Amino acid sequence: MKKVLVTGGCGYIGSHTIIDLIDNGFEVISVDNNSNSDLKALNGVHEITGQRVKNYTVDLCDYEKTSKIFQNEGFDGVIHFAALKSVGESVGEPLRYFDNNITSLLNVLKCCKEYEVNNFIFSSSCSVYGNAKDLPVTEATPFQEAECPYARTKQMGEQIIRDFSFANKNTQSINLRYFNPAGAHESALIGEASLNAPTNLVPVITETAIGKRDSLTVFGSDYDTVDGSCVRDYIHVMDVASAHTKALQYIIDGKNDTNCDVFNLGIGKGVSVLEAIQAFEKVASKKLNYVIGDRRPGDVVSIYASMDKAKSKLNWETKYDIEDIMRTAWKWEMVRTETVLQS
């Protein structure tokens, strides 16, 4: 059984990926400082899989504590999710984002080199493309100027990993550029539950629908899109999770052609903010209270993926569409709200 370190394992995508890893025979160790996550996510993982995942409550910016985890455990691979991720927050606090996201990545890579952990998967983002000139974007699409410091940390992270892999020939790395993960596990035992107020569209939609927010603001109505609102490629979180497991197995099995590769993860279809709202209203049979606001700094106008490479190389395909995303997200929102009310 291969042992994998998942950084940010208590977070949204990390916890869902842990489920997929366990389902595919991996032993998983988590590290998460819980600055924007909750250990309760691993309770949900336990209920779903029957496996109790060990978590180290460590800040990866602390090299000595990070190194001890590698020394204690011995890993066959690392999937690195841990990072600050709010677009708007990064615009206001760029130094915090550079310090946290880059320092933590460097420390993990140093440990991979020191303890000879040669399989590395990086949680990148479609934000690396900026305002791409041609759609859909492929893995060969050139990077444009980053629209926010968060996106720049992902661009820098990929470049660091590429240089690291070039210098360390035994390292096999993959940068997974996923688009807009959303939805929740079908069981509704885990879902998106950051400690800070969410800024991603889907949880904002469900929080508005259930009454935690008075209304939702659609940022911008004059973009050059189908209805004037921003267009994104929304992908179900369990499809994203599956891709991480397949990518890790891909390099463990030595199927990769290069020791630093990249894959897009998306549905391959652009959905506008207003179309996403309509999809929610359809599956929830509920009207959403929203208002049209000004454009938001840092937002890309329109982006969606070509997934041909991931399909052909990783043998990966999406199973969920935008309505499945909204259905599972709404189920999760109702379950966790009811749980809070009962406690």
Catalytic residues: 150
Structure tokens at 143: 């990077």
Q: Which of 110, 84, 76, 96 is nearest to 3 (CA)?
A: 76
- Distances in whole angstroms, Cα of residue 134 to Cα of each of 131, 178, 179, 297: 9, 17, 16, 22
Structure tokens at 161: 């990993």
Residue-wise DSSP of 277-334: HHHHHHHHT----EEEE---TT--SB--B--HHHHHHH-------HHHHHHHHHHHHH
Place of tokens 């050059």: 224
Give the torsion through C-alpha atoms of 102, 108, 112, 117, to 10 deg.
Answer: -120
In terms of phi and psi (left: phi > 0; alpha: psi -120 to 50; beta: otherwise), the region of 147 is: alpha
Phi, psi (rounded to 5 degrees) for 96: -60, -40
Distance CA 128, CA 310 (A): 18
What is the length of the chain? 343
Cβ neighbours of 330 (radius 10 Å): 23
Phi, psi (rounded to 5 degrees) for 173: -130, 150
Classify the C-alpha dihedral 305-306-310-315 as positive or negative. positive
- Identify residue 93 by its one-letter amino acid code: E
